[in-house]
A and B are shown apart, each in its own frame.
Chain A
Amino acid sequence: MQQNKIDKLLKHDVSWLLDSGPDGDIAISSRIRLARNIQGLPFPTSASPGQLEQIQTAAEMALKKSAVIGKDYLDFHMSDYSVLERQILLERRLISSEFAKKEHHTSLFVKQDESCAIMINEEDHLRIQALCPGLQLFKVWEQIDKLDSELGKTLPYAYDSQLGHLTSCPTNVGTGMRASVMLHLPGLVLSGKINAAIQGVNKLSMAVRGIFGEGTDNRGNLFQVSNQSTLGESEVQIIDRLNTIITQLVMHEKKCRSNLLKNKKYFLLDHVGRSYGILRHAYTLSSEEALNSLSDIRIGVDMGMFNSIDLHTVNKLFLTINPAHLQKFAEKELSSKDRDIFRAAFVRKQLKNAKHKD
């Protein structure tokens, strides 16, 4: 039965990745997550198994009763799922890596189009996230704000008049809100300006991270920019500040790209063309090489250098070339070497199809 739910997810398109959104050429998606805890119960870190169960039951009941995520949702009891299946949820950004490691008394509610997901008993009792394609933080806020208010009617939240929403980690206290935008910034990287840009953003007390792996890993030239401070400003103020910074970044990225096209046209064409060659013809493809080559193809697509591949094909590949997804498609566990072979064949096929479309 549980496999059906994972299969159901895989069958549906991920709305935030495949629908078009404002500034979608550079801003892939906008996400907001809220940390919420139920009054009177200890946070998951210090809760006993009995209390964890109590939290899980209360949260599940409230989610079902309030119907905040609509009718088309899937609920997962994480203990029913294998490591590989949890890895798929992680690759789809529906759960955190910390959550993927927790087996007991943890559940996940996901809207079928994956625009909304709620983790129960992660670091906090509830971690609610909403996503939209492109740069539209305000729209995401509108959705999650409504959901949160509805849920708050059923669940009494742990709250303090001075500190706001109380969370397991004091870095989230207050609004409990982390807003982030996933950005594709190859222009800034190729122009050697990315570090300056990151430092600038950091100075404005926003965090920049690579999407894959940890810290400064910038495989695929994908970055996530998010707010650090959650206390002392309203949600709207935080979002407004973040939105302004992202808008600036998008502008700089555009400038870098048009400068590259103007001044280093053949460098850029060659860069994109070689990556296309690799993706079309390689027989082994590591995840890093695939992500970086896909990033190059994405600039090519954005700049109209291909008419046979669209942005959605590339966006989808950013997700499906990850290890757990590949193994799901292969219907067996694969060693890292076998994965590279399978990945190369998979990408060759996808891009071949894409080309034939036009």
Chain B
Amino acid sequence: MLCNVCNQNEATIHIQEIVNNNKKAMHLCSECAVQKSQNDPAFDFGGFNLAEMLYNISESQGGIPGLSSLSEDETADEEKKDMPDLECSNCGWVLSSLRRTGRVGCAECYKVFHKVIDNALKNMHRGKLHVGKTPGSKATNKSSNSMLKLMNLQKELDELVQREEYEKAAKLRDKINDLKKKINSPKPKKKNAAK
């Protein structure tokens, strides 16, 4: 079977899903699957919500029994139907809503559905731990200032290159790289035990 997206490669990823007794099937080659999921989480393959698929894929990778949607046979579908829908006690949001909309209902949902979300996050983001701003902290003045400095240095570098003053440019480039390293080194964070 050929991939539904490129129609060239053999489809190796088969996604089948049943929502309210409606069966949907999607066949992708691994290249297209990876590309689509990386490029646009909200990508819609002709009626297919990628958010939906992303969660389904991560569920299957996470090996949550009974929730795998890579199920080709009816028994697995039956099993899925019988699984009680996981619900957030804080806001009443259910797992099936998360899978349908790609959204959660409240902050607590992140804990309730963490198995599904944590796996999906791997496909969405470059890391698993927040290293950005913390609320309540002052504006990141220090880094803002460094950034302005960085911006000015970069402009200077462009000018040097344009004037073909390469020796000076090389020195400046090293300076810029040092500054970048300084800006980019995340503040040490205490690593909490895994959830």
Contact = CB atoms under 8 A, between A and B. Distances in A.
Contacts of B140: 145, 149, 235-236
Contacts of A202: 35, 38-39
A234 B131 contact: yes
Interface in A138-191: 138-139, 141-142, 145-146, 148-150, 152-153, 156-166, 168-171, 173-175, 177
A350 to B, nearest CB: 34
Q: Mostly helix, strand, loop or mixed at chain B's interface? A: loop
A50 B91 CA distance: 14
Residue with the highest number of chain A CB atoms closer than 10 Å, among B128, B151, B180, B195: B151
A232 interface: yes
A229 B124 contact: yes
A170 B117 contact: yes
Interface string B171-195: 0000000001001101001101001
B138 interface: yes
Interface stretch (A39-47, A77-85, A332-340): A39-47
Number of chain A interface residues as a range: 35 or more
B126 A229 contact: yes
B148 A138 contact: yes
A237 B135 contact: no
B132 A228 contact: no
A145 B139 contact: yes
A233 B144 contact: no
A338 B189 CA distance: 60
B135 A165 contact: yes
Given A138-B150, A145-B133, A175-B132, A231 B144 contact: no
A253 interface: no
B5 to A, nearest CB: 13
B107 A39 contact: yes
Looking at A145, A164, A231, the one whose CB has the most chain B CB atoms below 10 A away is A231
A205 interface: yes
A218 interface: no
17 contacts: A42-B105, A45-B103, A46-B92, A46-B93, A136-B151, A149-B137, A149-B140, A150-B139, A164-B132, A164-B133, A175-B132, A229-B127, A231-B124, A231-B126, A231-B127, A234-B184, A237-B184
Given A152-B136, A156-B135, A232-B130, 20 more contacts: A39-B107, A45-B101, A45-B105, A46-B93, A160-B130, A163-B130, A164-B130, A165-B133, A171-B102, A174-B132, A175-B132, A177-B132, A202-B38, A202-B39, A231-B121, A231-B127, A235-B140, A236-B183, A236-B184, A239-B147
Interface of A: 37, 39-43, 45-47, 123, 136, 138-139, 141-142, 145-146, 148-150, 152-153, 156-166, 168-171, 173-175, 177, 202, 205, 207, 228-237, 239-240
